[in-house]
Amino acid sequence: MRFGSRTIGIILTGAILAVSGGYVAAAESTADVIKARQDKFKDLGKQAKAIVGQLKSGTLDKAAASDEAKKIAEYAHDLPTWFPKDTGPDSGVKTLAKAEIWTKPDDFKAAAEKFQTEADKLVQIAATGDIAAVGAQFQETGKACQGCHKPFRTPPPDDAH
């Protein structure tokens, strides 16, 4: 009898852990998706800053700029997969992603494709190492970033934007 109740206790504890563990995993996955997305956008910012830095200094490192442009283009093509359903402002997790991403999917798709086109061009031009041309195309790529941020991102709070 003593042994029996202990067994039941272990089974019950195990069951509770399994169920609560399941909830935790579900809650985490939304947060994980959003965190992973934010990390990728931060890395995009890093690549952008690296190219801006070279443009500002007046010397373009062809190899480095090419790598940075390629990363940006890779992210651009991957970007449409970063916004699965239920990872928006109603997800309960803090995010700057606006509901419009999901309510205006065609506009969002068009904005992402514009970014992809400009980023692909940037990769080609970066390979030439022509700093003036890279500067001009980088401007266009930056505009594509902003073209998506304005309608689909809540302005970052309490910060220099």
Of 48-67, which residues contact another protein (CB under 8 A)?
Answer: 48-50, 52-53, 56-58
Total interface residues for another protein by CB under 8 A: 23
What's the closest the beta carbon of residue 73 comes to another protein, in angstroms? 16
**Among 114, 107, 100, residue whose Cα is nearest residue 143:** 114
The tokens describing 22, both together, are: 């399941």
Nearest residue (CB) to another protein, 29 versus 146: 146
Task: Classify the C-alpha dihedral 93-97-103-105 as positive or negative.
Answer: negative
Inter-residue contact 36 to 87 (CB < 8 Å)? no
Nearest residue (CB) to another protein, 68 versus 101: 68
Nearest residue (CB) to another protein, 50 versus 127: 50
Query: What is the DSSP secondary-structure string of 113-148?
Result: HHHHHHHHHHHHHHHHT-HHHHHHHHHHHHHHHHHH
Tell whether residue 146 is a contact of another protein (CB under 8 A).
Answer: yes
Nearest residue (CB) to another protein, 33 versus 72: 72
List contacts with another protein (CB under 8 A): 42, 44-50, 52-53, 56-58, 142, 145-146, 149, 155-156, 158-161
